[in-house]
Amino acid sequence: MYTFSQAYSEKKNSISFIHRIDPRLKLYGLVICIIMCITSGGATVIIPFLFSAGMVMLSGMGVLYYLLKMKRVLIVLTVGFLLNLLVTTPGKALMLYVKFLIIAFFCSVLIETTATRKLLDGMKKVFHLREETAMTMMIALLFIPLLGNEMNEIRLAQAARGADVTEGALAVRLKN
């Protein structure tokens, strides 16, 4: 079960060192991590890996927490890895998979350890966004957790009335 929890991130806003870092510094770190992942090859991918692993450990939430949060992202990345095996060598496919995993973990740490408003203020300053663009992104980032919570409430209400919303094809689940 996947639930969106913006409140959890904001509640834990001052627990670890990573939570207290300025969002602009986190965004610069994300850009550097992405550039390092794209340009690195072979054994040099260990540098962004250690950087992301350090962020996960310093956040104080644990690897399992992030794995559960990224369950669907991991599925998409794994399917992409398997499809990539069809067109490239296994070594190249695995390297690309690892690079995307590193970026996904760093993005997850950024989102989970930064309040939405602080993240948007940082994005506005780092990327020199106009006020309208920043407000649009703010509304989108605030709407996604609300949509997730509503979907979860609907699923629980359907399960309470006896509908089986966990098994079967999508059409069958919608019909119930």
What ranges in 88-130 are assigned the alpha helix state H? 90-113, 116-126
Alpha carbons 89 and 104: distance in angstroms, whole number: 23
pLDDT recorded at residue 85? 93
Find all residues with CB under 8 Å of 63, minimum gap 6, and list them. Answer: 56
The answer to whether residue 163 sits within a structural domain is yes
What is the DSSP-derived secondary structure letter of residue 166? S
Number of domains in the chain: 1
In the block, tokens 């119930």 appear at: 176
Domain annotation covers residue 68: yes
Q: Take residue 172 and report the two structure tokens written for it.
A: 């069958």
3-17 tens-digit pLDDT:
444 444 444 445 788
Tokens 């509503």 sit on residue? 150
In a domain, 127, yes or no: yes
Instruction: Supply the angle between the helices 23-39 and 90-113 in degrees, to the nearest 10.
Output: 180
Pick the most confident of 40-54, 71-85, 161-175: 71-85
Q: Quick one: pLDDT at residue 29? A: 87
Interval 113-128: pLDDT, tens: 888 788 888 888 888 8
- What secondary structure does DSSP assign to 120-174, as a single string? HHHHHHHTT--HHHHHHHHHHHHHHHHHHHHHHHHHHHHHHTT---SSS-HHHHH
Residue 168 resides in a domain: yes
Distance CA 173, CA 152 (A): 14
Domain that holds residue 47: 6-175
C-alpha to C-alpha distance for 27 and 90, rounded to whole angstroms: 32
Answer whether 76's CB lies under 8 Å from 97's CB.
no
Q: Which two tokens stand for residue 151?
A: 């979907």
Nearest to 104 by CA among 55, 41, 40, 147: 55
> What is the Cα–Cα distance from 137 to 144, expressed in whole angstroms?
11
The answer to whether position 1 is within a domain reads: no
Q: What is the pLDDT of residue 79?
A: 95
* Length reported for the chain: 176
